[in-house]
């Protein structure tokens, strides 16, 4: 998503420069101002995947759309695949479930688009049981990058949390739970499984950071729950490569760390490190057990810089979240979340190793093993 946002901004600036090369009237200047505001909304929208294609067509009618139609799959490497259905769509990429006819008709996932060149180079060197692997990747004559990955289902942590909330809501409405009562997590059958999933995400991030890679877009929809029930970290579109000094500045606003927010939206020279991922993981954990995102964005109608400042003020007051609403979760888990959401990076967990150790202690009673 980060690369998509940056490209949208670059194309918009190029279009603006072309306009400035010619005399414009007052009406053209007014149109430009309106377009600029709409672009700002686009860049900070939490639903950019759904809106970017149509908005770009409105803003940049001269630019070719990044659509991928059926005719794109006639030649080259796609001859060995039979496309079954589209199972996902991002700002500038689409994801298909397919059959690899050259390898025993196995099910695979094909992710194809124009702005995902960095992802296969990063994921291809990561080899961990809780990170989605890559079979192969290639770039065709049209400049489209395609990544081939195993098909391990489409059920994500976001889906699991949605189902859990619907179930708990039904129990409350049926009188099985007090409607105003917080979730007694210690007594919930889902609690051990949620802790295990988080522990597995910690394992994946610890390995990833050991390979000098930052994920930078940790959220429930980027944690796949495979057929075996274990967590798999996916979607490395925004991954930063520390070795190559590549650190994209996109992300999902509600999950960004303060330093990530400053760099992405306020364009300040903040450095990002492993503690940015730790912060995003803390937001994810808070959402899992409290039922809402702690620093929800104020909406796409607000200007980007103003919205970033509002978010930063909310993040500074994170302690009030634990004071005003306290679900029935273990104190040890609260301390972990609290340690991840510290506003200043130096006050957070220093590494995923430290965070993983605390999770291991929390899950040891459920039979966790190193």
Evaluate if residue 73 carries a pLDDT over 50. no
Render pLDDT for 96-144 as a digit per residue (tens, 0 to 9).
999 999 988 999 999 888 766 677 778 888 999 999 998 988 888 888 8
- pLDDT at 203 exceeding the cut of 50: yes
Taking residues 180-184, report their average pLDDT.
58
Mean pLDDT of all residues in the chain? Answer: 77
Given a cut of 70, whether residue 232 has pLDDT beyond it is yes
Residue 346 confidence (pLDDT) above 50? yes
| CATH 1.10.357.10 corresponds to the domain 157-366 | no
Give the residue-averaged pLDDT of 34-55.
Answer: 51
Segment 149-164 shows an average pLDDT of 93
The answer to whether residue 24 scores a pLDDT higher than 50 is no
pLDDT score of 54: 53
pLDDT in tens, 6-16: 555 555 455 54
The 10s digit of each residue's pLDDT in 296-342 is 876 666 677 888 888 999 999 999 888 766 667 888 999 999 999 99
What residue spans define the domains of the chain? 2-59, 70-150, 157-366
Spell out the SS3 assignment of the chain.
CHHHHHHHHHHHHHHHHHHHCCCCCHHHHHHHHHHHHHHHHHHHCCCHHHHHHHHHHHHCCCCCCCCCCHHHHCCHHHHHEEEEEEEEECCCEEEEEEEECCCCCEEEEEEEECCCCHHHHHHCCCCCCCECCCCEEEECCCCCEEEEEECCCCCEHHHHHHHHHHHHHHHHHCCCCCCCCCCEHHHCCCHHHHHHHHHHHHHHHHHHHHCCEECCCCCHHHEEECCCCCEEECCCCCCEECCCCECCCCCCHHHCCHHHHHHHCCCCCCCCCHHHHHHHHHHHHHHHHHCCCCCCCCCCCCCHHHHHHHHHHHHHCCHHHHHHCCCECCHHHHHHHHHHCCCCHHHCCCCHHHHHHHHHHHHHHHCCCC
Percent of the chain with pLDDT over 70: 68
Question: Does domain 70-150 match CATH 3.30.43.10?
Answer: no
pLDDT in tens, 240-274: 766 555 666 577 888 999 999 998 888 888 888 99
- Residues of the chain with pLDDT > 90, as a percent, come to 36
Q: What is the pLDDT of residue 155?
A: 94
């Amino acid at each position: 998503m980060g690369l998509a946002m940056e490209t949208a901004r670059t194309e918009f600036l190029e279009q603006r420069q072309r306009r400035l090369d010619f005399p414009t009237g007052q009406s053209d200047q007014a149109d430009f101002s309106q377009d600029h505001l709409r672009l700002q909304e686009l860049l900070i929208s939490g639903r950019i995947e759904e809106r970017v294609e149509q908005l770009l067509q409105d803003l940049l009618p001269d630019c070719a759309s990044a659509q991928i139609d059926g005719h794109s799959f006639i030649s080259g490497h796609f001859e060995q695949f039979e496309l079954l259905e589209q199972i996902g769509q991002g700002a500038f990429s689409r994801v298909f479930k397919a059959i690899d006819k050259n390898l025993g008709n196995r099910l695979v996932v094909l992710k194809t688009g124009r702005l995902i060149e960095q992802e296969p180079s990063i994921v291809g060197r990561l080899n961990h049981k809780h990170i989605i692997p890559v079979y192969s990747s290639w770039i065709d004559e049209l400049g489209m990058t395609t990544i081939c990955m195993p098909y391990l289902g489409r059920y994500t942590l976001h889906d699991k949390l949605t189902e859990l909330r619907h179930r708990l809501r039904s129990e409350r409405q049926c009188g099985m739970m007090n409607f105003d009562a917080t979730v007694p997590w210690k007594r919930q059958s889902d609690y051990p499984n949620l802790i295990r999933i988080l522990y597995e995400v910690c394992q994946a991030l610890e390995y990833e950071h050991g390979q000098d890679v930052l994920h930078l877009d940790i959220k429930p929809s980027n944690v796949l729950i495979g057929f075996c029930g274990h967590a798999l970290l996916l979607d490395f579109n925004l991954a930063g490569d520390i070795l190559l000094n590549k650190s994209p500045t996109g992300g999902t606003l509600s999950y960004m760390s303060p330093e990530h927010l400053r760099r992405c939206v306020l364009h300040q020279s903040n450095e990002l490190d492993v503690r940015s991922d730790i912060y995003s993981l803390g937001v994810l954990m808070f959402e899992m057990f409290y039922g809402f995102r702690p620093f929800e964005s104020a909406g796409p109608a607000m200007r980007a810089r103003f919205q970033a400042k509002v978010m930063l003020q909310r993040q500074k007051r994170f302690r009030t979240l634990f004071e005003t609403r306290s679900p029935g979760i273990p104190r040890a888990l609260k301390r972990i979340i609290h340690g991840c959401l510290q506003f200043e990076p130096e006050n957070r967990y220093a590494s995923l190793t430290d965070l993983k150790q605390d999770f291991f202690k929390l899950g040891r009673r459920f039979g966790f093993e190193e």
